Amino acid sequence: MFDMMSKQLRFSNFSLPSRKQAWRWLLPLFLGLLFITTLIWLPIHEKEQETAERQEQLVADSLWVEQTIRFQLQRNEESLSLMAAEVAAGYLRGSRLQDRMENLIRNNHEIHRIIYLDAYGKLLTSTDETMMSLDVLSTPSRETDQRARTTRSALYSQPAADKTGPVMLDYHVPIFVEDQYAGSIIASYLASSILDDMVPWWFAQDNEIALTDINGTVIHKRASGGAGRGIYTHRRALNLAGVSLQLATDSIKGAPKLLPSLLVDAIILLSVGLMWSLIALWRDIARRNAAESALREQVTFRVAMENSLITGLRARDLEGRITYVNPAFCEMVGMPAEEIVGRSPPMPYWAPEAMNEYQRRFAQVVAGNLPPQGFETILRHADGTRIPVLFFESPLVDDTGKQTGWMGSILDISDRKRVEDLNRQQQEKLQASARLATMGEIASTLAHELNQPLAAISSYTTGALNMLDTKHPKNLDLGMLQEALDKTNTQAQRAGQIIRSVHTFVKKREPTRAPITVAELIESVTPLVELQAQKYFVSIEIDVPEDLPPVLADRVLLEQVLLNLTRNAIESMQYVAPAKQILRITAERDQVRTHNVVVSIIDHGHGISPDVAARLYSPFFSTKADGMGMGLSICRTAIEFHGGSLTHEDNPGGGTIFRFSLPAYVPAAHNRWIGSTVRTSQTG
């Protein structure tokens, strides 16, 4: 009995701890199984989600490609419809129609050819020189042309191979003039070009894309990155006027795979995750504190920098109300920031004489029509002083990319204006000095040239006096007397013309532009050129057509250019053979820019070496021992002042050719230029 009780007690003492131990390992086991199940389920779920995302991305990309193709085709349809309308209106004919067709093909490589048929189906114009008749078109294309004519609407034909070989998709645009059929314009697309030229390369690298009909028959296929795997596929309808096609897309990507060590990686990541989170949290707090400190320093530095700038800064909101000005701007207009911030146009620093210009500029800025570059204007200082400034406006955008107003920077250009005026005055003085130096070089020849008419005048007047002193008035020959006096008058006018040319040439004056013909310009300077040519026994040839248009120019400046260039040409021929001592002055229309007139000075001298040509137009560079080195520099400045250019090249027959071009005078353009100048002067 005692033994049985002892056994039951031992059994009961043994069974109770065993149940507690079971719960201790069952609970962790359950949690472990739950954890493992979660680890297994998560990658499977992630794989399925990734598969769905890839499929959705393929659908979205396919839709985008379809819309891209449709958009490009619609743009071409609009261009072809506009071309048909202009043909119907009689605007496009012959070469103009041919040029329009070729230009459309150049800008849209997917179009293979464009043809124009008359009302009887006769081929009138084609961009394909090999296409001689309409028999080349496929049967579906010819049937579509009839259907488009009947329905009076533009239609696409079913893709089919024509007699040239490739599969074509033709777009037929019928032309009607007052309800009468007048022909058709047919644009042909290569089926291959629709996919090769319109589908982006990045999409073709990841997907096999095919163009099929509604029955699934493949018309053309593009597989730049390889064949599709059939895992991610999509079909998209491409419905066009008269034909229905499909875009079949098959991705080359395979199904996502599970990482072989995913469980091990997950355990390691879970182990270090907590430590990393604590470290990341500490670093984030430290980084946030450092960023706030740096932001405070940056704001302080930026405020100090803006306060120390000499460039004025001004911010406005979208309604034009001023929200910020820096001290430089306040000093520029002589007003404190409190009187400017919050103001709306008109501003107190606007000058009354330029009020209309300010209003126009303000309207442009508010409308978003910013000028591509800065513009000059004037501001009124508080004491009434006018200050020329240069404005730059740009959108003011916040950190989210949203525009909140306009930011302007203002530069005081008073010093620059003074320097420009000083440079202009110095340039005028330099030009006057160059003209005086030129006249000094030909002074001896000028004196000799004046001696001839003066000697002739003296001789004629002496003969006239001798005839008047005769003792028998009846014997006086009035005809001879009249002839002597006429010759005296001619020689006096010749001398006067030479003196007037010299006086006009050397007189200091402001540049003024007026219409003048090239013939008049060359004729006015010819006497002075002949004086230089006589010194070196150089003959002059002038070739100026009578139908050249006039130019808008300053006569004296261009006379100085001609005199400098001809003098250089004459001096370069002093050591050549007498047969080559010929100076040619020609004028003609520019062959490239027909609205320009080109004047050429051609000599047969020693030419210009390459090392000299590199510095030819540099100021104070001269190959002459007594030269100033400013002649060609002044010439180029004068020509560029007129909107032209000065160049030179070697003469094939030996020597050098200097050419300068001048814009032809157009009265309407001249008036617009005057108006633009006046508006510019009003704004400073």
Q: Band of the pLDDT at 609, cuts 50, 70, 90? A: confident
Mean per-residue pLDDT for 162-172?
83
* pLDDT at 326 (0 to 100): 84
Kindly indicate the confidence band of residue 670, based on its pLDDT and cuts at 50, 70 and 90. very low
Class (C level, CATH) for 67-251: alpha beta
The pLDDT assigned to 499 comes to 64
What confidence score (pLDDT) does residue 658 get? Answer: 92
- Residue 676 is predicted with a pLDDT of 36
Confidence of residue 13 (pLDDT cuts 50, 70, 90): very low
State mean pLDDT over 278-304: 79
For residues 453 and 529, the answer to whether their CB atoms sit within 8 Å is: no
User: Residue 278 above 90 pLDDT?
Assistant: no
Instruction: Determine the CATH number of domain 309-412.
Output: 3.30.450.20
Q: pLDDT tens across 355-370, in order?
A: 777 777 777 776 766 6
The rounded distance, in Å, linking the Cα atoms of 362 and 319 is 10
- Hey, how many other C-beta atoms are within 10 angstroms of the C-beta on 283? 10
Label residue 39 by pLDDT band (50, 70, 90). low
Nearest to 315 by CA among 409, 406, 411: 406
pLDDT at 612 over 80: no
**Structure confidence by residue, pLDDT tens digits, 111-136:** 888 999 888 888 888 888 776 566 67
Question: What Rg, from alpha-carbon coordinates, does the chain have?
Answer: 45
- Using the predicted structure, report yes or no on whether residue 675 has a pLDDT greater than 50: no
The class level of CATH for 414-504 reads: mainly alpha
At 196 the three-state DSSP class reads helix
Least confident of 31-40, 163-172, 181-190, 413-422: 31-40
- State the pTM of this model: 0.37
Quick check: 627 pLDDT over 50? no
What pLDDT does residue 603 have?
92
Cβ atoms within 10 Å, residue 370: 14
CATH 3.30.565.10 fits 511-684, yes or no: yes
Domains 67-251 and 309-412 share a fold: yes
Residue spans per domain, the chain: 67-251, 309-412, 414-504, 511-684
For 163-167, 250-254, 321-325, 327-331, which range has the lowest pLDDT when averaged over its residues? 163-167
Q: Which residues of 230-267 are buried (b: 16+ CB within 10 A; e: fewer)?
A: ebbbbebebebebbebbbbbbbbeeeeeeeeeeeeebe
17 pLDDT tier (thresholds 50, 70, 90): very low
pLDDT at 519 over 80: yes
Task: Give percent of the chain above pLDDT 70.
Answer: 70
As a residue count, the chain comes to: 684
pLDDT at position 12 over 60:
no
Of 432 and 341, the one with more pLDDT:
341
pLDDT at 41 over 80: no
Q: List, for residues 206-242, the tens digit of each pLDDT value.
A: 888 888 888 888 888 888 878 888 888 888 888 888 8
